Amino acid sequence: MSTDEFWKSKIAEVSSTLERADPKPAISCHDLTASALASTIDHTLLRPDATRDQVAELCDEAVRYGFAAVCVRVDFVALAVARLQDAPATKVACVVGFHEGTHATAAKVAEAQAAVAAGAAELDVVLNRETVQAGTLASAHEELKALRSAAPPPVVLKLILETSQLSRDEVIAATVIAGYAGFDFVKTSTGFCGRGASVEDVLLMNRVATALSQRDDLGEFKGVKMKVKASGGVRSLEDAKKMLDAGAERIGTSGGIRIMKDYLGEGSSEPAGSGY
């Protein structure tokens, strides 16, 4: 079992290579089509008071616009899967450990397994950021490995960092640990705590992910670049383009319809939403 000192050393190694990483945006906004934009959006409804009718409408909207996924709480996964059964391109994502991230590892693993059993193809897991802030990095990594084991590929795992609550060094540390645990994405925010995503967060996370992809010690994950999901405060087409230009490949937002209507020049009566 790795130690905290092992992870501090590993993180320092990666940090020393960041200036050479030279990340590039995966998605160009210069020739962005409507379908390409829609395919970056996780259409999201995570309010505690959400209803079954609202989740059904969320799914119908996702199909109409061609969104990548709908993101819901575990109680609504089965409903969303059933609603999207004739639209395989739109996946069902479920949050795990939402939104504080301080749930026991066993509880997170059980929630992840329940979501996958109900049909979720993607899991957005909240980091227990206290482990990173306290320097108990081995514990943080063990939890993420347990979740990866509980939900192996092709399930897509995204780690929500809550970047507004972390220092720059802590964002780097969390991203490194996620990479070594085999996560597919690192994600900025829950949308329920702090300021949400920033361009600076996305740039940094993308740089770390690029540096990791150039290392030889990631075992089965060698050469695979983690992606970045921006969420929290992404409410407009302009917001979305800024995040894509910074290197995000997925946008988590409750404002996806407004973003698409902005792109299509239709105007929108849609509320701005929380931006999650």
Dist. CA 171–CA 74, nearest whole Å? 27
* Nearest CA among 189, 185, 198, 197 for reference residue 160: 189
* Nearest CA among 120, 136, 180, 133 for reference residue 161: 133
DSSP state for residue 225 in the 8-state scheme: P
**Of 91, 227, 229, 242, which residue is the catalytic one?**
229
Given a contact cutoff of 8 angstroms between Cβ atoms, the answer to whether 240 and 21 are in contact is: no
- In a 10 Å sphere around its CB, with 0-12 CB exposed, 13-18 middle and 19+ buried, how is residue 174 labelled? buried
Scanning 181-264, the segments in alpha helix (DSSP H) are: 199-213, 237-246, 256-264
**Of 91, 187, 227, 241, which residue is the catalytic one?**
187
Q: Is 187 a catalytic site residue? A: yes
SS3 at position 72 = strand
Q: Is 261 a catalytic site residue? A: no
Residues whose CB is less than 8 angstroms from the CB of residue 55 and which lie 6 or more positions away in sequence, other chains included: 45, 70, 72, 76, 79, 80, 83
Q: How far is CA 42 from CA 14, 50, 62, in A?
A: 30, 17, 8
DSSP state for residue 158 in the 8-state scheme: E
- Which residues are identified as catalytic? 187, 229
